[in-house]
Amino acid sequence: MHVASLYASAIASGALKDVGLTIVSSLIALLLGIAGALARLYGGSVIGGLVYWYVELIRGLPAILQLFIIFFGLTQFGIDLSPVAASVLWLVAYGTGYAVEIFRAGIMEVPTGQREAADALGLSSLKILQKIIVPQAWVGMLPNLTSFLVLQLKNTTLLYLVGYADIMYQARLGADATEQPGILYLMAALAYLVIALVIAVAGLRMERRAALYR
């Protein structure tokens, strides 16, 4: 128990760093994901194909390998990224791949009749997207967006491998220093559980609110 109180603040600071990075990188990734999904759906075969293979690469390669390619691999070309920079870059690159799929699926779930009706009423493509497709797609996408955030949060566990001072990094430091890995990794697990729970609860509340508009 002594160890637990000693390292509680270190784990908490790691947790803050994880949450911060998750939020920042997810926001950027979601924006890029929207652009990617639109490019994939309406961008023609070349651009759409590029986005398709980008998504496949992100989904097909192990997370660690992607992170290492950015952090270690790029040094071969003289690009030496700091741990934070490599972490953000990877989380954004990874998140974008998954976000594209979420938005693409969400947009495709809206029945084509909706689009055709709006088209027949003379709305422009942009207006159709903005007023018809997005509001309806949004509700269906919420559960996926929640799991997206949890996925990104879990991905931050890998960042200690490139020296980012997250929860795992602090737990590892503590485990090495005190030779008490038992309690320290339990604390790490607990920290992730709590954060994941908060995300899940927030997601459910948003789903409930969004469902009211249906």
Partner 1 sequence: MIALWRQYLPQFFQGVGVTLELTALSLLVALLFGFLLALARLSGWRGLVLGATVYTEVIRAIPVLVLLFLAYYSLAQAGIKLSGMTAAVVTLGGFYATLYGEIFRGAILGVDRGQSEAALALGMNRRTVMRKIVLPQAFFTILPPATNQLSNLIKDTSLVFTVGVTDLMFQAYAASSATFQPMDMLLLAGIVYFVFYLVLSKFLTRWELNVQRRRG
Residues engaged in binding partner 1 (CB under 8 A): 56-57, 59-65, 68-69, 72-77, 150, 153-154, 157-158, 161, 168, 171, 175, 179-183, 185-186, 188-189, 192-193, 196-197, 200
182: exposed, middle or buried (Cβ count in 10 Å: 0-12, 13-18, 19+): exposed
CB of 74 to partner 1, least distance (A): 7
Distance CA 87, CA 85 (A): 5
CB of 15 to partner 1, least distance (A): 12
The two structure tokens encoding residue 186: 């339990």
Answer whether 132's CB lies under 8 Å from 123's CB. yes
CB of 59 to partner 1, least distance (A): 7
CB of 36 to partner 1, least distance (A): 19
Q: Which is nearer to partner 1, 42 or 53 (CB)?
A: 53
Q: Which is nearer to partner 1, 115 or 172 (CB)?
A: 172
- Give the Å distances, CA to CA, from 140 to 14, 31, 40, 46, 95: 33, 18, 19, 28, 19
Q: Which is nearer to partner 1, 78 or 113 (CB)?
A: 78
Give Cα 183 distance to the centre of its chain: 28
Q: Which is nearer to partner 1, 42 or 72 (CB)?
A: 72
> In the block, which residue shows the tokens 């954004």?
92
CB of 130 to partner 1, least distance (A): 33
Instruction: Please list, residue by residue across 27-44, b when 16 or more beta carbons sit within 10 angstroms of its beta carbon and e when fewer do.
Output: ebbbebbbbbbbbbeebe
Q: Which is nearer to partner 1, 58 or 133 (CB)?
A: 58
Answer whether 3's CB lies under 8 Å from 183's CB. yes
